[in-house]
Amino acid sequence: MAKFYSSLSEIKGGLQSGKITVEELVKDYLSQIEKNAHLNAFNEVFGQEALQQAKDLDKRLKQGKTGKLAGMVIAIKDNICYKDHKVSASSKILAGFKSIYSATIVERLLAEDAIIIGRCNCDEFAMGASNESSYYGPVKNYADETKVSGGSSGGSAVAVQAGMCHAAIGTDTGGSVRQPAAFCGVVGLKPTYGRISRHGLIAYASSFDQAGPITRSVEDAALLLEVMAGADEYDSTTAQKPVPAYAADLKKSTEKKKIAYLQESISSPGVDSEVKNTLINAIDKLRAEGHTVKPIAFEYLDYLVPAYYILVTAEASSNLARFDGVHYGYRSPAATDLVTTYKKSRSDGFGKEVKRRIMLGTFVLSAGYYDAYYAKAQKVRRLIQEKTDKIFEEYDFILMPTAPEPAYSIGKEVTDPVVSYLADIFTVQASLTGVPAISLPSGNNSKGLPLGLQLLAKHFNEQELLNFSKYFMEL
C-alpha cells in the first residue's frame, strides 16, 4: 500500500533517518500508477528514467549535496515541454512529437532535484473542465471512478490524489489547476500572471496561461512556487520582481483579515447546496475567529464567462495556427499538396472542442466582428480588473467556491457547450485579472466527493495568500 506523505518535509525526514530511499519511493509510486492505470491519469510514465534518477539522488543524498526538491517525485501535465520526451497536449495532432527543449519551469525543477515520473493526461490543448476532451479519454476521479477528475489538469490532480506521485504541475488558463484540485481534494495554486515563466508550455491563451503546483499541502505549493517563479529571458511577460522565499517564510497567518465573498455564491440557485454550506461554514468560522467577512456584489458577474471565452478562443485560434501538419506531429496521410496538408491534418488532428474554439476565436477576430466581440471583451476585461482592484483596496482576500458543484458523472450528456463553460464562473475572475488564487480542500460532501474553496489575493501577494491558506486549512 502506497504511503501518502503529507508534505516533502515528511519525506525528507524519512530520507534523513534512513527509513526510506528515493528509489523505494519511486518504486512505490510506480506500483501505485500500475495499480491505478485504469484511472487514465498518465499519458506516459518515465519509469526507468525516474528509477535511475532516484538511484543517483540516493547516492548524492549520502554526500549531502542535493537541491531543495530532493525526494519530491512529481508529474507534469502533458502540455509542458521536457527535452527529448514526448509532449502531446492530449491531442492527436501532436502524436509522436518530441520536445526539443525543456520548459524553463522543468529546468528549474530538475535543477533542484525533482524527479519527473511521467506526463499527465489533460483536456486537449487544456480546453475543458472535465478532462473529457482529451484524445486519450477521460481521467477517472479516485474518490469515485464514475466521476470526472475535473480539468483541464485532470490527470495531474488524480495523480496526486491517488498517490501516484507526490505533487504535480498543471497549467491554469481559466481554472485548470484549481478546479481539478477541488474535485480531487488537493491544493491547487494559480500564481499571479507573470510570476512563472510560460516558456515551454504549449500555449492556449497567452495572456492567461500560468503554470501552477498541485499538492497535498500548502507548504509544498509554496516550495514549488519558489522554485518555479521568477524572471526568464525567454518569456518577456515574466515579472522582474524578486522571488520571495515562499517556503521558508511560510508562516501560519495570525492577523485579523478582511475577507469579501460573492453574495451570489450563496444566493444563486446554480450553486450546489453542499458547496454553499461549505462556504457558509467557512465564513462562520472566520467570523468567530475575529476576521471581518462581508458579502459583496460583483456587478460584472454575468460578463465573466462570456468575456473569458471570447478572449481565450481568440488567442487560441492564433496560437493553434502553428499546428499545420508541416511543423509538428501528425500529418494526414490523405494530404496531396500544401492546402490539403493543412486542411486534412487539422481536420483529423484536432478534436471537436478544439475545432469549436478555433472557429469561435477566428470569428470574434474577423474584420466585421472584431469591434463587436474581441475589442468589447477587452474593454470588459479592463472593467473587471478595475472592479477587482477596488475590492482589494478594501479587502485582503476574496473567498468563493472553486466550482459551483462537485465532480459530476463522466459522460454526462452536455448538448450545449455554454452549460459547461458556465461552470467556470468562479475560476475565471482570477484569470481575467491575473491575480493569484488558490483552491483548498474543504472536506467531502455527503457522497464522499471532495469540495474546494478558493481564495484570491492581490497581484503578487502569494506569500500572504499562502500564509493565510495554511491558517485556513487548520481552521
Q: Given the complex with ligand GLN, which of 7 and 173 has the nearer CB atom?
A: 173
What CA–CA distance (Å, rounded) separates 441 from 425?
Answer: 19
185 secondary structure, DSSP code: T
Q: Exactly one of 7, 68, 77, 147 is catalytic; name it.
A: 77
Write down the least CB distance from residue 415 to ligand GLN, Å. Answer: 17
Taking contact as CB under 6 A, which single stretch among the options 41-49, 120-128, 252-260, 321-329 is the one that binds ligand GLN?
A: 120-128
Q: Given the complex with ligand GLN, which of 71 and 188 has the nearer CB atom?
A: 188
Write the Ramachandran bin of 393: left for phi over 0, alpha for psi from -120 to 50, otherwise beta. Answer: alpha
Write down the least CB distance from residue 299 to ligand GLN, Å. Answer: 23
Which residue of 172, 226, 232, 396 would you call a contact of ligand GLN, by CB under 6 A?
A: 172
Q: Exactly one of 152, 197, 317, 345 is catalytic; name it.
A: 152
Whether 77 is catalytic is yes
Whether the Cβ atoms of residue 129 and residue 423 lie closer than 8 Å to each other: yes
Which residue of 424, 449, 462, 470 would you call a contact of ligand GLN, by CB under 6 A?
A: 424
Q: Given the complex with ligand GLN, which of 180 and 185 has the nearer CB atom?
A: 180
What CA–CA distance (Å, rounded) separates 335 from 397?
Answer: 54
Whether the Cβ atoms of residue 298 and residue 265 lie closer than 8 Å to each other: no
Q: Does 97 bind ligand GLN (CB under 6 A)?
A: no
Q: Given the complex with ligand GLN, which of 2 and 303 has the nearer CB atom?
A: 303
Cell of 41: 491519469
**H or E, element range at 429:** helix 428-433
Write down the least CB distance from residue 102 to ligand GLN, Å. Answer: 21
* Closest listed residue to residue 94, CA positions, set 135, 154, 139: 135
Q: Does 128 bind ligand GLN (CB under 6 A)?
A: yes
Residue nearest to ligand GLN (CB): 176
- The torsion angles phi and psi of 45, rounded to 5 degrees, stand at -110, 130
Q: Does 152 bind ligand GLN (CB under 6 A)?
A: yes
105 secondary structure, DSSP code: H
Q: Does 438 bind ligand GLN (CB under 6 A)?
A: no
* Closest listed residue to residue 139, CA positions, set 170, 98, 166: 170
For residues 81, 85, 88, 92, the Cα torsion angle rounded to the nearest 10 degrees is 160
Q: Given the complex with ligand GLN, which of 295 and 411 has the nearer CB atom?
A: 411
For residues 12, 16, 17, 23, the Cα torsion angle rounded to the nearest 10 degrees is 80
Which residue of 80, 126, 168, 310 would you call a contact of ligand GLN, by CB under 6 A?
A: 126
203 secondary structure, DSSP code: P
Write down the least CB distance from residue 54 to ligand GLN, Å. Answer: 31
Which residue of 174, 180, 406, 434 would you call a contact of ligand GLN, by CB under 6 A?
A: 174
- The torsion angles phi and psi of 444, rounded to 5 degrees, stand at -115, 160
Taking contact as CB under 6 A, which single stretch among the options 57-65, 124-132, 235-243, 323-331 is the one that binds ligand GLN?
A: 124-132
What CA–CA distance (Å, rounded) separates 124 from 110?
Answer: 26
190-229 binders of ligand GLN (CB under 6 A)? 204
Q: What SS3 string covers 38-57?
A: HHCCEEEECHHHHHHHHHHH
Query: Cell 474593454 identifies what position?
Result: 379
Q: Does 265 bind ligand GLN (CB under 6 A)?
A: no
Whether 176 is catalytic is yes
Q: Does 176 bind ligand GLN (CB under 6 A)?
A: yes
Cell of 315: 488567442
Whether 152 is catalytic is yes
Q: How many residues bind ligand GLN (CB under 6 A)?
A: 13
Q: Does 312 bind ligand GLN (CB under 6 A)?
A: yes
Task: Give contact residues for ligand GLN (rule: CB under 6 A).
Answer: 126-129, 152, 172-176, 204, 312, 424
Residues marked as catalytic: 77, 152, 176
